[in-house]
Amino acid sequence: GQNIDQPTEMTATEGAIVQINCTYQTSGFNGLFWYQQHAGEAPTFLSYNVLDGLEEKGRFSSFLSRSKGYSYLLLKELQMKDSASYLCAVRDLDYQLIWGAGTKLIIKP
Amino acid sequence: IAGITQAPTSQILAAGRRMTLRCTQDMRHNAMYWYRQDLGLGLRLIHYSNTAGTTGKGEVPDGYSVSRANTDDFPLTLASAVPSQTSVYFCASSQGYNQPQHFGDGTRLSIL
């Protein structure tokens, strides 16, 4: 079957760095997405990886290793507004997105 | 402001009733999707449409139907609602199947 694993919840301190991991087992791989979802709101697109390596976008970076079925989202200089759920999604062989359950990130002052 | 509009925002519905959730986008995106999101589970695809006039089944299509008569609209119909369909429903769209998906604000549906 297809499976996306992320930690359920993480806690970090304002100003610090946090890494959210995602491992996947899917029927084929056609890219990996990270989305941010604030409570009660819609998911919003953060990043996309299709090749191995690091993609940097401001305070957020995303890494992919296809051979290990592994990705992480790195958030630097954490701000209170970064408190949200972070969703990992993999596009499979049929080009449909398979979603993880999300990681709830709690930022403490 | 360009984007995706879903209606209603929330609804309480008696079991057995028929309900249509509306979704309209003004970005001229080819692909549209319906997901449900339940606590502790990832987003699950109900139905999708890669282009106007075509639809396909996702992971959890039973009890739901869709139509795609034009590019902008993608309604989701529950023919006879059951309590297990209580969920938050998100409509999304993308320019193509390999592009990021953009989401509407969701419809919170409770079936009693």
User: Looking at the partner chain, which of A42, A99, A102 has a beta carbon nearest the beta carbon of B106?
Assistant: A42
Contact B100 A33 (CB under 8 A): yes
Each residue's pLDDT tens digit in chain A (109 positions)? 789 999 999 999 999 999 999 999 988 899 999 999 999 999 999 999 999 999 999 999 999 999 999 999 999 999 999 999 999 999 988 888 999 999 999 999 9
Q: How far apart are CA B102 and CA A43, in angstroms?
A: 8
Burial class from Cβ neighbours inside 10 Å (0-12, 13-18, 19+) for residue B23 reads: buried
Whether A27 has its CB under 8 Å from any CB of chain B: the answer is: no
Contact B100 A45 (CB under 8 A): yes
Q: How far apart are CA B32 and CA B94, in angstroms?
A: 6
Instruction: Fill in the DSSP letter of residue A59.
Output: T
Residues of A in contact with B105 (CB under 8 A): 41-42
Instruction: Fill in the DSSP letter of residue A81.
Output: G
Contact B100 A43 (CB under 8 A): no
